[in-house]
Amino acid sequence: MTTSHVIENVSVNKSFGGWHKQYSHQSTTLNCTMKFAIYLPPKIASGEKVPVLYWLSGLTCTDENFMQKSGVQRIAAELGIAIVAPDTSPRGEGVANDDGYDLGQGAGFYVNATQAPWNRHYQMYDYVVNELPQLIESTFPVSDKRAISGHSMGGHGALTIAMLNPERYSSMSAFSPICNPINAPWGKKAFSTYLGKDKANWLNHDASELMRRATQFIPAKVDQGGADDFLTEQLQPETLEAAAQANDYPLELCIHEGYDHSYYFISSFIEEHLRFHAEHLNK
């Protein structure tokens, strides 16, 4: 077991016959101590390995928001799916930060930073794609069948990571994703800081751009609240829909009138997302 695979259990809670557990470990990719949460469904008691849904959270969140607010454990227990929720960025003393909520700690944007001082720690893309799954699959009774989902900044991360690695994920979904970050204030601020001023380096981290030029398709589900305060300026789901239509990409996108950007919205539709992923994980 390598140093990066030495993990420490922080908390354990029984839930719907399974177990919610939080761990910390020293990440060699991010050069800091990271936390993640995992829900293991009761099916693991049979000795059978279960597939994993990776959940990426949004700005200012940690591994705790989704696990505590979404109600995902009930459906995951029924379907026999493990849920893994990493933190949203590197953290700790010596990790670069910013006074704004939308940059720095809590706002990693799931990219590999190339610009100093961010590039020393902010390698969230490599962490989510490589280090974390290797740790999970070598430590817990899970298979290498993976799906990925997320919310807002994490929705952006889930869609872009899946489309850049279509062989690794059976399906992808998102709630309220930042669909066109190269043209959204959140994305412009983060990408110019982490990736530099050359916008050509931003294109591989824009879901609309990736969907428009994709040659390998992954089943995709996106839900968006129609009363979301960030809908027009930051999220721009119409750009993702246009890209899917231009490329015949298998995207199911639904606008839900009256719903906002909160976990009240996510908890209302998370069961549909898990059943969507279960269908593709079981193929």
Tokens (6 digits) for 141: 């009774």
Cα-atom radius of gyration of the chain, to the nearest Å? 18
Query: What does residue 172 show for φ and ψ, rounded to 5 degrees?
Result: -140, 150
Choosing from 57, 152, 170, 171, the catalytic residue is 152
Are 11 and 21 a contacting pair, CB within 8 Å? yes
AA identity, residue 214: A
Active site residue 152: yes
The per-type count for the chain, helices as H runs and strands as E runs, is: 9, 9
Choosing from 63, 87, 206, 228, the catalytic residue is 228
AA identity, residue 92: G
| 40: helix, strand or coil | strand
Tokens (6 digits) for 236: 């721009």
Half-sphere exposure of 23 (CA within 13 A, CB side): 21
Tokens (6 digits) for 221: 């589900």
The secondary element (H helix, E strand) that includes residue 32 is: strand 32-40
In whole angstroms, give the CA distance from residue 209 to residue 205.
8
Choosing from 20, 121, 261, 273, the catalytic residue is 261
Q: Is the dihedral of CA 86, 92, 97, 100 positive or negative?
A: positive
Which residues participate in catalysis according to the annotation? 152, 228, 261
